[in-house]
Structure 1
């Protein structure tokens, strides 16, 4: 299957640069995965499409303010560091701009010396291993000095950093937000619970691989990035109970979907507690074992995310829905509008 089969024309002005003032006021396209029928809604009305006995699965990962602006103390050269993954202790895998200025042994300081780092390794893909030193608690220092690592297609500055966090964000570790969850407020979640819909939480720490373009011609040749996930006993039990009683499992976002499908694939369609790394790549032809529906944003052309959505609702249905979204001037990507697939 060719990657080009998931391309579509997207005017640049439809890429949302800032979040809406009210999280629940974004638009919601409702797509019937069987027929391809489309309805246009407002996100706050999503409760009308949920039923008692359903379960909504949310990713409670929290985005690190992982973008650090520092300098080399010997030359004053400006260095931008993006934290990718904690290796052990104070050692982190990072991306650096400009990478050519940072070799093994190079020192970098941030915030007038409140945080310091030394390069202790070079990675094949151009990344650097940094070991940090500081006083106090690392995450508190990071909160004070770091900035949100917004996706490359967002050019505007984010005034309120909390708007790139879900209201239920809890487990620190993501390089990007699980953006389908940005549409929810505490009040809307309470309204959903009052309807008899269960709310379950999983954790998947989103990596920057989410934004990397697919660089091969054939889907089968694409190597998926790996991300850490965790599912608790409480969540696994809830999901198994919902499934046994005939309720629908509706994942919020591609991250929740990939986590649930990874767990179900390893347990004959059932759910079990556990943690690990997933590199599952879902594209048309995949048989879903965990979910019945999904809430998601509108994704980049030829991305692994639009391929996943196409696996659930069918490529033709999805591309037709995207064509209509463009025609109706929906807002795309992280701060954009949402789609409910049932």
Structure 2
């Protein structure tokens, strides 16, 4: 499949620059990939599309104050260091801008109490750095670090917690699992009261979120690995839900990637902690996820490929075209979609075969 197969036209004014209030006042596009229907609603009405016994799976990761602004020890030049992954107590995998000015041995100063030294390059153009500090690193980072926002958001965020989910618990992400930004605590309690189960997994969003797909053929794209954890309790909840004939509904693409990475067989999952580089695109046979809540994603991104795998590429692109026409808000602070059930595997396979055949003509 070609990268261009996942492109669409998006006017810049459709990219949401600020979050809507309250969180669940955003719009909700409801898709049925089997009936090929599109409904328009609001997120606070999500309960209308759920039934008692369904299980929602949330990613409880918390975004780190991962952006540090410093100056090179040698020249005083400004340097931005973006924390991606902690390797041990003092070593981190990072993105450094400008990268050409951050060579092995270079020292970057952030304050009198915090500096780092570049120790090596990484495969994806990043840097490994070793921090030196006086005091407790996490407290210093909380003071000096900035909560990172995606590059397409140009407005300043007044409340940093607005780029966190209300259920975040495990700090370690470089970006928010944005489908979860729509939920309020009150709405989650309302769903629980009506008999919907709430389960939690952790996937720390990393470098893959920021890497564009550059391969002409998407099968050649390599995902960066991210750490995830599923407790035995959550795995049992999912298995019990499946056994009772109810749906497992992933909140966001990070939850999907976690569940599908931990699947041991069709309908089977185990509690575990591991690293995943799973890349889901059309033709993938989903093992755990029956429905999903998701935002609208960037053209030619791995995320729109994942959604296309779930609901069918043509139907998804038609839905995106409708969303543009209906003036939905896109990306992190934008509106949401609820996809009620996956496209049958045989139909997904047929679409992939037709697409590949068309490229050979």
Same fold (TM over 0.5): yes
Contact 1:59 1:255 (8 Å CA) reproduced: yes
* Mean CA deviation greater in 132-141 or 295-304: 132-141
Contact between 2:23 and 2:183, CA under 8 Å: does it hold in 1? Answer: yes
CA distance 1:125–1:281, shift in 2 (3 Å): closer
Q: Residue 308 of structure 1: SS of its match in structure 2?
A: helix
**Is the Cα–Cα contact under 8 Å of residues 242 and 267 in structure 2 kept in the other structure?**
no
Q: How many residues align?
A: 340
SS state at 2:268 partner: coil
CA distance in 1, matches of 2:34, 2:86: 42
8 Å Cα contact 2:73/2:106 also seen in 1: no
Q: Within 5 Å, give how 1:69-80 maps onto structure 2.
A: 69-80=69-80
Partner of 1:174: 173
Instruction: Name the counterpart of 2:353.
Output: none
The CA distance in 1 between the partners of 2:82 and 2:50, in whole Å, is: 39
Deviations for 1:140-185, whole angstroms, at most 9, x for unmatched residues?
Answer: 2111111112111112221111111101111111111000000001
User: For 2:68 and 2:253, how far apart are their aligned partners in 1?
Assistant: 27
| Pairing 1:88–2:88 present | yes
- Spell out the pairing of 1:280-319 with structure 2 (5 A cutoff): 280-319=278-317
User: TM-score, length-normalised on structure 1?
Assistant: 0.96
Superposition deviation, residue 21 in structure 1? 2.4
Match in the other structure for 1:135? 134
Partner of 2:351: none
Partner of 1:257: 256
Partner of residue 214, structure 2: 215
2:24 corresponds in structure 1 to: 24
1:74 Cα offset (Å)? 4.3
Change in 2 beyond 3 A, CA 1:46/1:285: same
How far is 1:75 from its partner? 3.0
Task: List aligned pairs for 1:59-70, cutoff 5 A.
Answer: 59-70=59-70
**Residue of structure 2 in register with 1:104 after alignment:** 104
- Deviation of 1:255 (Å): 0.5
Shift of residue 310, structure 1, vs aligned partner? 1.0
Q: Is the CA contact 2:91–2:128 (under 8 Å) kept in the aligned structure 1?
A: yes
Give 1:268 deviation, angstroms.
4.5
TM-score between the two structures when normalised by the length of structure 2: 0.91
Deviation at 1:267, TM superposition (A): 4.0
Distance 1:88 1:10, change over 3 A: same
1:233-248 → structure 2 map (5 Å cutoff): 233-248=232-247
Separation in 2 of the partners of 1:99 and 1:200?
Answer: 40
Change (3 A) 1:332 1:249: same
The alpha carbon displacement at 1:278 in A equals 1.0
Say if 1:176 and 1:208, in contact at 8 Å, map to a contact too. Answer: no
CA RMSD of aligned residues (A): 1.2
Deviation, structure 1 residue 105: 2.2
The corresponding residue for 2:43 is 43
